[in-house]
Structure 1
Amino acid sequence: MGSFHLTRLLTEHGCFGKYLHRIKKEAETKCYHYEAEVDDAEHTLFVYPAWAEEREGMEEIGATSPENLGKKLIEKMDAWVIIDTFASTVMRKKEAHERERRMHVR
C-alpha cells in the first residue's frame, strides 16, 4: 500500500520550490505561500502552518520530525494510513495552489 502523493512527498519530487528550482522551473527555492527560504518536504510535513489541521493525526502518532517519520511508517499500518492521508490531502492542495499561482504569473 502506498500512494502517489506519499511517494512524491518522501522523494521530494513534486510541487516543492526546492525541486522545481532544481529542474529549472523556478528561479528560487522559496515557499510562495509562507515566508520560508526553502519549500521542501520537511517544510511541508512539519513547518508550514496552513497544514496544522492536517498534521494533527501525524502529531498524535509521534511523526513529528524527519528522524522519526520513517520509523512511524513501518511501525504499524495505522500510522502508514495517517501519514498517507496527510500526503494525499496536502499534496493535492499544494498542486492546486501551484496551478493557480502559475496561472497568475503568466
Structure 2
Amino acid sequence: MAKRVIRAYCTVSREAACALAGTPPWELEAEVLAEVYHRTAAARRSGNPPARQEIEHWRKEARDAIIDKWSDQMQDPGAGHRTVLALQPVLRAWIERHRGFLPYRMVQVLTGHGCFGKYLHNIGRESTAGCHHCGSDTDTAQHTLEECPAWAGQRVALTAAIGLDLSLPTVVKTIVDNDTGFDAFKTFCESVMLEKEMAERAREEDPLADPIRRRRTGRRRRAFARNLI
C-alpha cells in the first residue's frame, strides 16, 4: 500500500516506502490498536467507560510511542538504506509535514529506483551501470543529484535554494523545513528525470540497440518474463 501511495517502483523496499509515505509498518499500527483496545476494555470492566476524548488521547500516546519505536528500528534498516537513513533523523517532522504529496519523479531520486544506470543494470535492462549523459562508470540517484555535469544548469537553482550540500540527509531535512527548498528539489527532479526518461525511451526504440535495451511488447515481453521464472 505504501508503494502505491508514493507511486514508487515495485522494487522499492517496504521500509523505504513506509518511511516516504509516513505510514508506520502495519505491525506497529497494530500495536496502537491493541493498546487502545486493552485500555478501553479495562476501563469498561472497572465500570468507568472512557469518554471519546480520553480514547483519542490514548490513541495519540500509543502512536507517539510507536513512532519512537519505528525511528529506533530505522537506525538499522534491512533494505533501502540510503532512503531510510536519510529520513530517520527527521521522521516525526516528515510524518507531520503539511506538504504530503510526493511527485513520482521526486520519489525516483529519493529511492534510487528509476531511470538510473545502476538500477537499470541491476534489473537487467542495461549491460553496464554507466551514465549515458557524462560517461561516468556509475549512474545512481546520488550521482544525478550531486555530481553529473549534464545537470549542472538545473543544479544551480537547487543549490541556491538549499545550499551546496546535496547529500540526501541534508536534502531531506531541508525539504521538510523549507517550502522553497521543497519546490526547488521538486523542480530539479521533474526537469532532470524527464530528460533522462526521454533519453531512455529513445534508446529503447533504437533498432540497433542491444536487445536487452529494446522495449519489450507483446510476445517479446512474455518470452522475457518466462526466462525470469
| TM-score normalised according to structure 1 size | 0.91
The alpha carbon displacement at 1:65 in A equals 2.2
Q: Distance in 2 between matches of 1:33 and 1:101?
A: 12
The alpha carbon displacement at 1:48 in A equals 1.1
The alpha carbon displacement at 1:12 in A equals 1.0
**Which residue of 65, 84, 99 maps to 2:186?**
84
2:114 pairs with 1:14:
yes
Aligned residue identity for 1:74:
V
The alpha carbon displacement at 1:63 in A equals 5.2
2:153 pairs with 1:53:
yes
Instruction: Structure 1: give runs of 5+ residues left out of the alignment.
Output: none
The alpha carbon displacement at 1:26 in A equals 1.3
2:123 pairs with 1:23:
yes
Higher relative contact order (CA 8 A, sep 6+): 1
Contact 1:63 1:72 in 2 (8 A): no
The alpha carbon displacement at 1:33 in A equals 2.0
Runs of 4+ in 1 over 4 A off after TM superposition: none
Tell me how many residue pairs correspond in the alignment: 106
Q: Distance in 2 between matches of 1:86 and 1:48?
A: 13
Cα deviations by residue, 1:8-41 (Å, 9 ceiling, x for unpaired): 1111111101111111111211112212111011
SS of residue in 2 equivalent to 1:13: coil
In our comparison, the structure showing a higher alpha carbon Rg is: 2
2:188 pairs with 1:101:
no
The alpha carbon displacement at 1:102 in A equals 2.4
Contact 1:19 1:29 in 2 (8 A): yes
Root mean square deviation of aligned Cα = 1.4
Instruction: Structure 2: give runs of 5+ residues left out of the alignment.
Output: 1-100, 215-229
